[in-house]
Amino acid sequence: MADHGRLPVGDLPIAEAIEPLRAALAERGRAVLHAPPGAGKTTIVPLVLLEEPWCDGTVLVLEPRRLAVRNATRRLAQLLGEQPGERVGWRMRQDTKVSRRTRIEVITEGVLTRRLQRDPELAGVSAVVFDEFHERSLDADLGLALTLEVADALRPELRIVVMSATLDIEPVAALLDAPVVRSEGRAFPVDVVHVDPPVGGRDRRRAAEDAVAPTVRRALAAHEGDVLVFLPGGAEIRRAERALGRLDADVDVRPLHGSMPPAAQDAAIAPSPPGRRKVVLSTAIAETSLTIEGVTV
């Protein structure tokens, strides 16, 4: 089991929500947790649930993307001083990393639907956590509806937690007939700098693309740390990568989008080695459910 005393709960904004969440699950069996990005909900809540007296089985944690599954699993395992596949593992289509010891399974949303089809009681599962529910998908909505049906008809002891950063949570709380637990998060100073696009006859979109490379170079020169750039899609990322050309010898350019191989995605979000920096050119895949350490711009 996880040792609550050794988890860095007190260092994270989610700390204020832990006791209300435990109380809600003990009394009602369900809760909706509202916490902003970076509060620590993804990496702390599943470990806290393992300590509860009612938790004698597995905790399923649903993530909206495969990249988020791997990232969350690695972070949870790291907090336990382990590698993925020990007490924390993942299940995705054609990619499973679990063992007999696994107590937390981080899964994609479709995996839950398929599991419910062959195991309608979710035997051996103590809790189901729907992370980043505000992203909303058919699989997530269907998974929640089926899980509620299981709890109502077959498994009244099954705990259900819906976690969200931005969702209008009252309708979901009403659906679950569950209390809302809130974590206010922590504000960090952010400087917003507006950059004028190059003057010319091009349309606005291409003008904005043309501004990416010089803006990135200025950011690298003016700031320490890594740079994260959001772009609409893979084509724009490839054009920006070509436009950046050769940067300083200690700077790596890392594209990040959903169609990349898993190893390349993992390389993009991994911390930079000592003495190196990176520029991540990403689609909206990195807007939520991911934390890329080292990014300052």
- At residue 7, does pLDDT exceed 80? no
- At residue 2, does pLDDT exceed 80? no
Which element (helix H / strand E) includes 93? Answer: none
Q: Are 197 and 210 in contact (CB under 8 A)?
A: yes
CA distance 106 to 153: 25
pLDDT in tens, 54-65: 999 999 999 988
pTM metric for this prediction: 0.83
Q: Which two structure tokens, joined as six digits, stand for 152?
A: 């109502």
pLDDT in tens, 211-263: 888 888 888 888 888 999 988 888 888 888 888 877 787 888 899 988 888 88
Q: Please choose, from the candidates 117, 133, 138, the residue with its C-alpha nearest in 3D space to the C-alpha of residue 178.
A: 133
pLDDT at 169: 82
Residue 211 phi, psi dihedral angles, 5° rounding: -85, -15
Average pLDDT, the chain: 86
- Taking only Cα atoms into account, the Rg of the chain, rounded to an integer number of angstroms, comes to 21
Q: Report the pLDDT averaged over residues 104-123.
A: 94
Q: Are 282 and 231 in contact (CB under 8 A)?
A: yes
- Euclidean distance between the first and final Cα of the chain, in Å? 38
The number of CA neighbours under 13 Å toward the Cβ of 201 is 0
Q: Which two structure tokens, joined as six digits, stand for 209?
A: 């693309």
pLDDT at 167: 65
Q: Which of 10-19, 102-111, 274-283 has the lowest mean pLDDT?
A: 10-19
Listed in sequence order, the residues at least 6 apart from 121 whose beta carbon sits closer than 8 Å to its beta carbon are 150, 154, 155
- At residue 210, does pLDDT exceed 90? no
Which element (helix H / strand E) includes 108? Answer: strand 104-108
Amino acid letter, 126: S
Q: Which of 10-19, 140-149, 183-192, 244-253 has the lowest mean pLDDT?
A: 183-192
- At residue 112, does pLDDT exceed 90? yes
Q: Report the pLDDT averaged over residues 27-37.
A: 91
CA distance 17 to 111: 28
Max mean pLDDT among 132-141, 144-153, 248-257 falls in 144-153
Structural domains of the chain, with CATH: 4-182 (3.40.50.300), 204-286 (3.40.50.300)
